[in-house]
């Protein structure tokens, strides 16, 4: 497993866990959960500073280790142009040229708008960003995003924050089969078994926020998810047995003593 | 030290009247000096090196943004 690294945008990652930084009960728990997750990629959002409470402050003051790869998102954007504007602001931080394109079509489902996402990906690739679009689990749009130059594609398992797990394993399997860039399942996972299942389908990694941050014990859940990723990855690489309809004994019956 | 000019700016979507000659003055006014923020003035992103050179005038639209928790 030591040389089973994930490469995205010229960077090698030992961990296949991308962790979000929203919704944690407090900065201390967040920091411990990130540590327990082993994640190297951290996602953020870009928002206006609250001028009435500036001491309330940036998330970055709570993140000490600059070995992390920052993956800011374009959440809040509803068009490609808005996403590009947010991406440029994020890059101006000097912290990262990675960008998670996230363009929601509506507030109820937060499902990604595939047309705007493709347009934004095309524009941002031209501007030299390392683009990781969050997108529906549709193999065709995933292929189009790859052709547009996405460094990885990030299909959702289910809508953001729902914890419903993988709604369409068939589609995810097809996406994995066809993709020439890493596939990161982003959004909708609920618990460790969902994660293992995703990894067993052959995806290259998972991005999670809510299922860790909103668990009763976020630090323990981060640890569980880390193990789930490793278990699923190892099972995928090992090659599972074929499913059979009927039993086959583990010891054989030819030398059975009672015959 | 001479007094700074009174300007009326739209900062983060809200009108503010303050004393400021440059973008850096605006940042200082809101207590954001030294904080990891990103600045956009009239739709153009400014690098930190540009903050002290960029003059502000009434009517300017300034956005002060930063990283927050997100997935």
Classify residue B28: in a domain, yes or no.
Answer: yes
Start-to-end CA distance of chain A, whole Å, equals 46
The residue range of the domain holding B35 is 6-65
Please count the structural domains in chain B: 1
- Please give the share of chain B, as a percent, with pLDDT higher than 90: 94
pLDDT digits (tens, 9 = 90+) for A187-241: 999 999 999 999 999 999 999 999 999 999 999 999 999 999 999 999 999 999 9
- Residue ranges of A 200-219 with Cβ closer than 8 A to chain B: 207-210
Tell me which DSSP letter residue A53 carries: -
Classify residue B46: in a domain, yes or no.
Answer: yes
Phi, psi (deg, nearest 5) at residue A46: -110, 125
Between chains, do A21 and B14 touch, taking CB under 8 Å as contact?
no
Classify residue B19: in a domain, yes or no.
Answer: yes
pTM to 2 decimals?
A: 0.94
Q: How far is A49 from chain B (nearest CA, A)?
A: 5
DSSP three-state, residue A8? strand
Q: How far is A253 from chain B (nearest CA, A)?
A: 54
- Which run of H or of E encompasses B29? helix B23-29
Asked whether the beta carbons of A160 and A187 are under 8 A apart, the reply is yes
Between chains, do B66 and A47 touch, taking CB under 8 Å as contact?
yes
Q: How far apart are CA A182 and CA A54, in angstroms?
A: 38
Q: How far apart are CA A209 and CA A43, in angstroms?
A: 9
What pLDDT shows up at residue A65? 64
Beta strand B38-41 with B61-69 is antiparallel
- Kindly indicate the confidence band of residue B1, based on its pLDDT and cuts at 50, 70 and 90: low
CB crowding A61-74: b at 16 or more within 10 Å, else e: ebbeeeebbbbbbb
Average pLDDT over residues B13-32: 97
Other CB atoms within 10 A of residue B61 CB: 13
Catalytic residue among A31, A100, A197, A244: A100
Q: How far is B1 from chain A (nearest CA, A)?
A: 27
Q: How far apart are CA A58 and CA A37, in angstroms?
A: 22
Between chains, do B65 and A46 touch, taking CB under 8 Å as contact?
yes
For residue A209, which residues of chain B lie inside 8 Å, CB to CB?
70-71
Classify residue B21: in a domain, yes or no.
Answer: yes
Classify residue B42: in a domain, yes or no.
Answer: yes
Classify residue B70: in a domain, yes or no.
Answer: no
Classify residue B58: in a domain, yes or no.
Answer: yes
Length, in residues, of chain A? 259
Active-site residue, A216 included: no
Other CB atoms within 10 A of residue A242 CB: 5
CA distances for B29 relative to A52, A94, B4, angstroms: 12, 24, 12
Between chains, do B69 and A75 touch, taking CB under 8 Å as contact?
no
What pLDDT shows up at residue A257? 79
What pLDDT shows up at residue A210? 97
CA distances for A191 relative to A1, A105, A205, A213, A224, angstroms: 23, 26, 15, 12, 8
- Give alpha helix (H) positions in chain A: 27-37, 80-91, 114-126, 139-147, 169-178, 192-200, 210-213, 218-238
Structure ipTM: 0.95
Classify residue B22: in a domain, yes or no.
Answer: yes
Ranges in chain A, pLDDT < 50: none
B29: domain CATH number? 3.10.20.30
Q: Which residues contact A233 (CB under 8 A, 6 or more apart)?
A: A1, A4, A16, A199
Asked whether the beta carbons of A139 and A159 are under 8 A apart, the reply is no
**Burial of A1 per CB tally in 10 Å (0-12, 13-18, 19+):** exposed
For residue A98, which residues of chain B lie inside 8 Å, CB to CB?
none
Between chains, do A60 and B66 touch, taking CB under 8 Å as contact?
yes
- Write down the CATH number for the domain with range A6-238: 3.20.20.70
Q: How far apart are CA A73 and CA A8, in angstroms?
A: 16
């Amino acid at each position: 497993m030591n040389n089973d690294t994930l490469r995205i945008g010229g960077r090698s990652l030992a961990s296949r866990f991308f962790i979000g930084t929203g919704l944690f009960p407090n900065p201390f728990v967040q920091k411990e959960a990130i540590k327990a997750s082993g994640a190297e990629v951290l996602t953020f959002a870009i928002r206006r500073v609250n001028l009435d409470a500036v001491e309330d402050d940036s998330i970055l003051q709570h993140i000490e280790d600059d070995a992390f790869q920052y993956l800011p998102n374009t959440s809040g954007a509803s068009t490609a142009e808005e996403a590009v504007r947010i991406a440029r602001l994020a890059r101006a931080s000097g912290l990262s040229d990675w960008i998670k394109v996230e363009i929601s079509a509506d507030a109820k489902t937060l499902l990604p708008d595939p047309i705007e996402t493709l347009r934004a990906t095309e524009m941002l690739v031209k501007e030299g960003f390392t683009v990781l679009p969050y997108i529906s689990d549709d193999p065709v749009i995933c292929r189009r995003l790859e052709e547009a130059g996405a460094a990885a594609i990030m299909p959702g398992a289910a809508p953001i924050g729902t914890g419903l797990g993988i709604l369409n394993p068939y589609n995810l399997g097809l996406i994995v089969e066809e993709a020439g860039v890493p596939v990161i399942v982003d959004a909708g996972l609920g618990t460790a078994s969902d994660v293992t299942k995703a990894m067993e389908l052959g995806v290259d990694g998972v991005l999670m926020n809510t299922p860790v941050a909103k668990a009763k014990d976020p630090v323990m859940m981060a640890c569980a998810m880390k193990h789930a990723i490793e278990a699923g990855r190892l099972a995928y690489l090992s090659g599972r047995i074929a499913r059979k309809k009927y039993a086959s004994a583990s010891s054989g019956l030819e030398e059975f003593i009672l015959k | 030290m001479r007094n700074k000019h009174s300007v009326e700016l739209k900062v983060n979507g809200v009108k503010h009247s303050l004393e400021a000659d440059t973008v850096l003055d605006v940042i200082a006014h809101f207590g954001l000096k030294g904080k990891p923020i990103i600045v956009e003035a009239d739709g153009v992103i400014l690098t930190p090196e540009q903050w002290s050179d960029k003059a502000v005038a009434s009517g300017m639209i300034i956005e002060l943004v930063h990283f927050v928790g997100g997935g």
